[in-house]
């Protein structure tokens, strides 16, 4: 017999009926955010925060996304226009200068970082992007992200009066075309969707399209001489230390997932819960002939979960949201180890 409870919300006419089989939507509670993760608060009055790095370089953030702008003698250079900042892109820049925008750089093609570009574009604005970014934009024809006026393949040095931005393409990582953007006078380095200062990466290693390139990007960042890092996400700017910390997280994730694959190739034993023999035989018996059921169980429930558990035990409390994305990151890393790095475990060269 089900108990039925009717909750009448006094403040409104809304009625919520609940019983104990579908009482409340279940909301997962995760570990608290470590204190180092959050940056200075975004103003509730404006919805944005502008931070000066000196010599006319500024971070503009809404707490979730980030843009960069540089004030030159007679005009402004802008990098990215996230749609969540939206019209506050204009207000944020106007809180510092009334000079017009002359140049606009796309970090990469993704709409969540440049989807407000059309608000800033105009007849006197030169949009600059990597050729791969132009190609991606050409595939989708989104009027919110106008085609660039200027493209480059390897390097592009943008000099506007007293400001300099060095753009470099160093291979695929998060998305082909994703550009290293360096302001040498202020030692500000921007590479979007790679490092998430204070946090683990966004899901699936930041939705990275190329995992070996993503891992390599950490070392490529550390080759620069920089004091401030902008990853395009969350509230605060990062430092060199944040890049070093995320690199260590990636190394642990890589090693733990590689160990999971290695153990899965070994025979079952009391000390090895990961043996593919045990896991696959049980699923195969329950689902005769269903190869995908066996693979899904092996990859997700056995190796990725073991790697996620181990990585979480090492990193919880050090980076924010380790427990939110542990499984997502491990799943991507297991697949990259197998397909990109050739760590195939029980599916290596057969029939010796």
- Contacting residues toward ligand NAG, per CB under 6 A: 41, 43-44, 55-56, 71-73, 123-126, 141, 143, 149, 161-163, 185, 305-306, 309
SS3 per residue for 5-16: EEEECCCCCCEE
Q: Which is nearer to ligand NAG, 239 or 278 (CB)?
A: 278
- Choose between 215 and 253: whose C-beta lies nearer to ligand NAG: 253
Residue 56's binding partner, choosing from Zn ion, ligand NAG, none, with beta-carbon cut-off 5 to 8 A by kind? Answer: ligand NAG
DSSP E strand stretches across the chain = 4-8, 15-19, 49-54, 57-61, 66-71, 76-79, 101-105, 126-130, 150-152, 155-160, 163-168, 180-183, 188-190, 228-230
Residue 73 interacting partner from Zn ion, ligand NAG, none (CB closer than 5 to 8 Å by kind): ligand NAG
Strands 66-71 and 57-61: antiparallel
Measured N-to-C along each axis, helices 322-339 and 211-222 cross at an angle, to the nearest 10 degrees, of 110
Residue whose pair of structure tokens reads 């197998």 in the numeric block: 338
* Residue 294 touches which member of Zn ion, ligand NAG, none, C-beta under 5-8 Å by kind: none
CA-CA distance, 189 to 172, in Å (whole number)? 18
d(CA 246, CA 250): 6
The Cα 121–Cα 100 span in angstroms is: 11
Give the shortest CB-313-to-ligand NAG separation in angstroms: 9
Q: What CA–CA distance (Å, rounded) separates 186 from 53?
A: 7
Pick between residue 43 and residue 287 the one whose CB is nearest to ligand NAG: 43
| Per-residue interface string for the shown chain with Zn ion, residues 177-196, x marking contact by CB under 5 A | ----------------x---
Query: In this chain, which residue has its C-beta nearest to ligand NAG?
Result: 56
Least separation in angstroms between residue 288's CB and Zn ion is: 42
Q: Closer to Zn ion at the Cβ: 179 or 331?
A: 179
- Of 110 and 297, which CB lies nearer to Zn ion in the complex structure? 110
Pairing of strands 228-230, 126-130: unpaired
Contact 160, 72 (CB under 8 A): yes
Residue 149 binding partner per list ligand NAG, Zn ion, none, with a CB distance cut-off of 5 to 8 Å that depends on partner kind: ligand NAG
Q: How far is the CB of 206 from Zn ion (least distance, A)?
A: 7
Which CB, 142 or 207, lies closer to ligand NAG?
142
Buried b (16+ CB within 10 A) or exposed e, 21-30: eeeeeeeeee
Per-residue contact flags (x/-) with Zn ion for residues 105 to 144, judged by CB under 5 A: -----x----------------------------------
Give bridge partners of residue 155 from the DSSP assignment.
168
Please report how close the Cβ of residue 108 comes to Zn ion at its closest, in angstroms.
Answer: 6
We find the least distance from the C-beta atom of residue 109 to Zn ion, in angstroms, to be 8
Q: What is the CA radius of gyration of the chain?
A: 24
148 Cα distance to chain centroid: 24
The binder of 185, among ligand NAG, Zn ion, none, by C-beta within 5 to 8 A per type, is: ligand NAG
DSSP state of 99: P
Q: How far is the CB of 279 from ligand NAG (least distance, A)?
A: 10
Q: Write down the least CB distance from residue 337 to Zn ion, Å.
A: 23
The item of Zn ion, ligand NAG, none sharing an interface with residue 72, based on CB under 5 to 8 Å by kind, is ligand NAG
DSSP string for residues in 214-244? HHHHHHHHHTS--SEEE-SBSSS-B-HHHHH
Nearer to ligand NAG, 146 or 172 (CB): 146
Nearer to ligand NAG, 67 or 71 (CB): 71
Binding residues (CB under 5 A) for Zn ion: these are 110, 193
């Amino acid at each position: 017999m089900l108990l039925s409870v009717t909750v009448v919300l006094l403040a409104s006419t809304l009625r919520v009926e609940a019983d104990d089989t579908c009482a409340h939507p279940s909301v997962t509670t995760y570990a608290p955010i470590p204190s180092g993760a959050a940056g200075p608060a975004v103003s509730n009055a404006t919805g944005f925060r502008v931070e000066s790095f000196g010599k006319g370089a500024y971070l503009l953030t809404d707490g979730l996304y980030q843009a960069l702008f540089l004030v030159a003698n007679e005009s402004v250079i802008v990098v990215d226009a996230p749609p969540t900042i939206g019209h506050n892109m204009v207000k944020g820049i106007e809180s510092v200068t009334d000079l017009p925008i002359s140049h606009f750089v796309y970090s990469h093609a993704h709409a969540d970082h440049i989807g407000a570009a059309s608000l800033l574009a105009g007849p006197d604005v030169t949009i600059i992007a990597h050729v791969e970014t132009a190609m991606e934009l050409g595939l989708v024809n989104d009027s919110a992200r106008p085609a660039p006026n200027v493209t480059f393949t390897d390097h592009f040095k943008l000099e506007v009066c007293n400001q300099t931005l060095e753009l470099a393409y160093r291979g695929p990582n998060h998305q082909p075309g994703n550009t290293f953007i360096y302001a040498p006078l202020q030692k500000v380095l921007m590479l979007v969707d790679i490092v998430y200062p204070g946090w683990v990466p966004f899901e699936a290693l930041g939705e990275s399209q190329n995992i070996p390139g993503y891992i390599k990007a950490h070392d490529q960042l550390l080759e620069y001489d920089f004091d401030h890092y902008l990853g395009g996400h969350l509230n605060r700017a990062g430092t060199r230390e944040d890049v070093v910390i995320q690199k260590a997280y990636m190394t642990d994730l890589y090693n733990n997932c590689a160990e999971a694959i290695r153990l899965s190739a070994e025979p079952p034993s009391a000390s090895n819960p990961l043996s593919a023999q045990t896991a696959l035989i049980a699923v195969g018996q329950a689902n005769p002939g269903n190869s995908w059921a066996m693979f899904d169980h092996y990859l997700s429930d056995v190796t990725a979960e073991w790697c996620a558990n181990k990585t979480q035990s090492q990193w919880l409390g050090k980076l924010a949201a380790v427990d939110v994305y542990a499984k997502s990151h491990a799943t991507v890393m297991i697949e990259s180890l197998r397909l990109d790095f050739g760590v195939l475990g029980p599916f290596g060269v057969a029939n010796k």
